[in-house]
Chain A
């Protein structure tokens, strides 16, 4: 009954989406005030109905309604309640429902916060979002209905994939989807602006907070995904350049480029064409990612159950959305930007360079991800493109990005003096070079130039950002007042860039100084790694809520003092019987100690894998710091609604940029 209600709610949501997609758009051309006004209530309506539908599916999971096929395939009575809820989005159909839930939510948010936008423009934005909603809702209702019933209800469900039974993995899809769908807002703004023929700094200013929030969610989502992979997959890796990982990384790269491009368009009115294209590209890559993950054209551990028929639907949807928007761009896109001129040495140029690098990285990630498919489709043979290729390319591009990241914020808009710039940055540059050189000394292993590069870059980004900060708050009237004077937007940028520096440092140190050992240990035996002694005490059988496990006990000591007792497990879930390794990690700010169990070797001995991972937390710390920076930037007072309304009331008649 509830499932049918959920299904019906989806159909109603589709009706709302049709209204939202068609009426306001048509009304914006015919200048029909009623039609224009229908956008907001339709958006709220769609949001409510999708929420009802999602609640219905969640309810079905919580009460173990195995007559619903999706629940039976992905849940189990023994599954802890937290995972029963996260099982809702653990497979294809439910994750799509999560997607439209996010779409409905963002649509309602845009409807609410767009009340001080010009009506015609707001109507078009909502309409575009409605059209996207139609596509997804049709996809669900026609090919991927999560509410389909089984004629024969099984007594027990097939259980959720054990790999997904982890808190990090539970929250990772919602964060990612918030990001993917959030990019549709920037997309809708861009399309609406193209339709209306007005692309200016006002449009850029409206788009900015939405884009930044979407970017924050994407950052958090990707960081969580990497963190989960490290925790759960048992081999200490945190990024594999797997097609699905790349599918999330590409929108993030474009979103980053978009934030920076919007900044230029807002401040200087330049690069409108670029910015619009990036806005279209960002959401296009989100959609492309959905296609790659769900169609079966690429092999991936993350891929959902693949189905070429569904793939065809998404491909057609892609053609309509991306093809349509790019055609609109070609037809109505702005010509030469009437923006402010800028000199060769200026922040504009550096930001342009920054965007060039980001788009190039996106380009090569796309190339590498699709290459096996392209080669196969063209009959050029079957190849694999894996992490060695991606890492080589990434290391090739990263230095350019790093240098620009450091220099950009310190460079003046419009025109700057190169000598003056160098002077401002000389200490940061010298210190970075010195640190890089130190890292290159023969004290270290043969990978020394990579260490030098990584440390040098990280130092450069961090020190240049700090140098810019120090310069900015250098105020004879006092530090505190100078600190107060800086906008949150500025602090956000500083934090975000420092986050990148932390990330680079973490990646460099853990990649090049991480140590790993595989040994067979009998109870009582120990292995030494990086000054730590890992003593294996044996294994005992334990039982969890829906699994049975062999639980190892490893005590870690350093110079005789106990550092941690770790309990790696080898789990065998009752329903999905594949064995799962649950690694045990001693977390630290400067290093992780990571232990995972292999196989029993007989006579109580087990194969054990032990890792020393220096500074690995800085990878995700950097990611979260950057996300925090983004949040700070969005909370900047110029985006505050109340302030904007005040100003509008005060200066009646004339449009004043807040």
Chain B
């Protein structure tokens, strides 16, 4: 009986390894989900005299998108963000991360601006509070300000249609 133990242990291991093949070991899930969003106050990207804060995100369902001109994935997902903005479903706040102010403004001018407001996080402190470790990242908060969803990586149309839009509709119906 005992002699079948090694085989048994291996079988379990093989199953776990198999599951492991479908996982990404470098993806860091967010501990913020289910918690109230981090408080912050940053200068606006377009106007250094004015500020953006978490208050701008509370009170209604909102989306925070972390991006930078240096990030190739952000360029790839920009059209998807514009599409999302055009649905009018939700306000998208942009968090420009560790970027150059002029370059970022130029970028939005040229490619279109999906953001209702843009925050300028030059030293990355606010990004750390949000648990950001790479760009692009997208957060969805409900009307009470609780983080409900985080997507790490590039957004695409499929994700938008199948996950994000349904989720936004669901969150809006909760209020």
Inter-chain contact B22/A326, CB cutoff 8 Å? no
Instruction: List 21 contacting pairs A-B, 8 Å CB cutoff, sorted by A.
Output: A277-B6, A291-B17, A297-B25, A299-B25, A299-B26, A311-B21, A322-B10, A323-B11, A323-B14, A326-B6, A327-B7, A330-B3, A373-B25, A374-B16, A376-B20, A376-B23, A377-B19, A377-B20, A378-B16, A382-B27, A382-B28
- A312 touches B (CB below 8 Å): yes
CB distance from B160 to the nearest CB of A (A): 25
Besides A297-B25, A322-B10, A374-B16, 8 new A-B residue pairs in contact (Cβ under 8 A), listed by A number: A296-B21, A299-B25, A299-B26, A308-B21, A308-B22, A323-B10, A330-B6, A373-B23
A residues with CB within 8 A of B: 273, 277, 280-281, 284, 291, 295-299, 308, 311-312, 315, 318-319, 322-323, 326-327, 329-330, 333, 370, 372-374, 376-378, 381-382
Set of chain A residues within 8 Å of B22, measured between Cβ atoms: 308
Inter-chain contact B14/A319, CB cutoff 8 Å? yes
A224 to B127, CA, bound (A): 41
**Contact check: which of A322, A326, A333, A377 meets B23 at CB < 8 Å?**
A377
Nearest CB in chain A to that of B1: its residue:
A330
Nearest CB in chain B to that of A309: its residue:
B21
Set of chain A residues within 8 Å of B10, measured between Cβ atoms: 284, 322-323, 326
A323 to B25, CA, bound (A): 26
CB distance from A495 to the nearest CB of B (A): 33
A382 to B29, CA, bound (A): 7
Instruction: Bin the interface of chain B by size.
Output: 20 to 34
Interface residues of B in 1-53 (CB under 8 A from A): 3-4, 6-7, 10-11, 13-14, 16-23, 25-29
Set of chain B residues within 8 Å of A327, measured between Cβ atoms: 7
A372 to B21, CA, bound (A): 13
A381 to B14, CA, bound (A): 20
Query: Do A315 and B16 form a contact, CB below 8 Å, given A299-B25, A329-B3?
Result: no
Inter-chain contact A312/B21, CB cutoff 8 Å? yes
CB distance from B33 to the nearest CB of A (A): 12
Set of chain B residues within 8 Å of A280, measured between Cβ atoms: 6
B residues with CB within 8 A of A: 3-4, 6-7, 10-11, 13-14, 16-23, 25-29
Query: Do A381 and B17 form a contact, CB below 8 Å, given A333-B3, A376-B23?
Result: no
Set of chain A residues within 8 Å of B18, measured between Cβ atoms: 312, 315
Q: Which 4 A-B pairs have the closest CB atoms?
A: A326-B7, A377-B19, A297-B20, A373-B20
Set of chain B residues within 8 Å of A311, measured between Cβ atoms: 21
A618 to B10, CA, bound (A): 37
Inter-chain contact B21/A297, CB cutoff 8 Å? yes
Set of chain B residues within 8 Å of A299, measured between Cβ atoms: 25-26
CB distance from A216 to the nearest CB of B (A): 27
CB distance from B6 to the nearest CB of A (A): 5
Set of chain B residues within 8 Å of A330, measured between Cβ atoms: 3-4, 6-7
Set of chain B residues within 8 Å of A315, measured between Cβ atoms: 14, 17-18, 21
Set of chain A residues within 8 Å of B17, measured between Cβ atoms: 291, 295, 297, 315, 318, 373
Inter-chain contact B6/A329, CB cutoff 8 Å? yes
CB distance from B11 to the nearest CB of A (A): 7
Inter-chain contact B21/A295, CB cutoff 8 Å? yes
A291 to B13, CA, bound (A): 13
Nearest CB in chain A to that of B31: its residue:
A381
CB distance from A249 to the nearest CB of B (A): 18
Nearest CB in chain A to that of B18: its residue:
A315
A284 to B6, CA, bound (A): 12
A291 to B14, CA, bound (A): 11
